[in-house]
Amino acid sequence: MDECPRCQAPLERLALGDVTTISCPRCAYADIPVEHESAPDERESWQDAFNRFYET
């Protein structure tokens, strides 16, 4: 991969020790897999929050 899949700018290779990755200096593309889905937040009720506060 010589050019960025987003903006077609030349990619640069970055290395730190044994780890190497590629990055685009123009659009900040990085060759790092990312999970874009997250689990919904479980909300704590006020009563549970007060109980937790008073237990400690």
pLDDT 10s digits, 7-49: 999 999 989 899 888 999 999 898 877 777 777 888 999 999 9
The pLDDT assigned to 42 comes to 87
Which residue, among 55, 5, 54, has the nearest Cα to 27 in the 3D structure? 5
Which residue, among 34, 12, 32, has the nearest Cα to 23 in the 3D structure? 12
The pLDDT assigned to 1 comes to 59
Supply the pTM of this predicted model.
0.49
Using 50, 70 and 90 to split pLDDT, how confident is the model at 54?
A: very high
Between 13 and 1, residue with greater pLDDT = 13
